[in-house]
Amino acid sequence: DTAVSQTPKYLVTQMGNDKSIKCEQNLGHDTMYWYKQDSKKFLKIMFSYNNKELIINETVPNRFSPKSPDKAHLNLHINSLELGDSAVYFCASSQVQGMSYEQYFGPGTRLTVT
Amino acid sequence: GENVEQHPSTLSVQEGDSAVIKCTYSDSASNYFPWYKQELGKGPQLIIDIRSNVGEKKDQRIAVTLNKTAKHFSLHITETQPEDSAVYFCAASYNNAGNMLTFGGGTRLMVKP
């Protein structure tokens, strides 16, 4: 009965390839996020979508393109992968309307670019 | 933008002792301060949070204090247990449409049996 799920859990690919990570939440939340966690464990927001609309884009290269087909899904597509993209990517969701601040995180996708 | 600093980066305590992790933030508009616990191979999980209209909040063995004037907040864990070993993150945000969290750098807590 997973609240926020991501696929795949591990992704190993070569430089220059294009890859996607999928995220789904079954909590009925109106806002979803992507975070990047680097090798030093530092967590940084990448994108935030509220009701399928982009709210935050934190200086992320335009090789990264989030897509929200509906409120329950927020996918991350990455073009022309670079070594520096290697990290763990976390999807999260929250219910912003109604002033509930808690963000629920998925299990993460470990991306390794070789 | 917001900047959150967290100390210490690692903390080792004996089982049963208390642990304290401290964070400072830069943006006085921030009004929400959650603490997350991240176990190995898992996503962060909220353990406690505090809003700017409250100075202290407690939930069993964990408590958080907030000093808005000094712009710092702390996590206190009492009677630590080995299962408390994890990486802990503080964060700060202000209520806007995106609810953007800015995280501290994390504290690796090790509780020795």
For residues B20-27, give the mean pLDDT. Answer: 96
Is pLDDT above 90 for B76? Answer: yes
Q: How many CB pairs lie under 8 A apart between chains A and B? A: 63
How high is the pLDDT of residue B96?
A: 59
For residues B2-20, give the mean pLDDT. Answer: 97
How high is the pLDDT of residue B97?
A: 44
pLDDT confidence band for B53 (50 / 70 / 90)? confident
Angle at A97 between CA B75 and CA B106, to 5 degrees: 25
Determine contact, residues A17/A77, Cβ cutoff 8 Å.
no
CA distance A18 to chain B (A): 24
For residues A18-42, give the mean pLDDT. Answer: 94
A46-60, A74-88, B59-73, B77-91: least confident range: A46-60
- Closest-approach residue (CA) in chain B for A54: B98
- Closest-approach residue (CA) in chain B for A4: B43
Nearest to B106 among A4, A41, A103 (CB): A41
Q: Is there a contact between B101 and A45 if contact means CB atoms under 8 Å apart? A: yes
Give chain B's length.
Answer: 113
CA distance B44 to chain A (A): 6
Beta strands in chain A (DSSP E): 4-7, 10-13, 19-25, 31-37, 43-50, 53-57, 64-70, 73-78, 87-94, 104-105, 109-113
Phi, psi of B88 (to 5 degrees): -110, 135
pLDDT tens digit sequence for A95-110: 877 666 789 999 999 9
pLDDT confidence band for B52 (50 / 70 / 90)? confident
Determine contact, residues B64/B73, Cβ cutoff 8 Å.
yes
How high is the pLDDT of residue B54?
A: 83
Identify which has the larger pLDDT, B67 or A58. B67
How high is the pLDDT of residue B59?
A: 94
> Is residue B87 less than 8 Å (CB to CB) from chain A?
yes
Is pLDDT above 90 for B100? Answer: no
How high is the pLDDT of residue A98?
A: 66
How high is the pLDDT of residue A88?
A: 97
Contacts of A48 in chain B (CB under 8 A): 98-100
Which whole-number Å values give the CA distances from A1 to A5, B11, B26, B47, in the listed order? 10, 34, 38, 20
Contacts of A56 in chain B (CB under 8 A): 98, 100
CA distance A24 to chain B (A): 14
Is pLDDT above 80 for B99? Answer: no
Rounded CA gap, A114 and A107, in Å? 23
CA distance B70 to chain A (A): 23
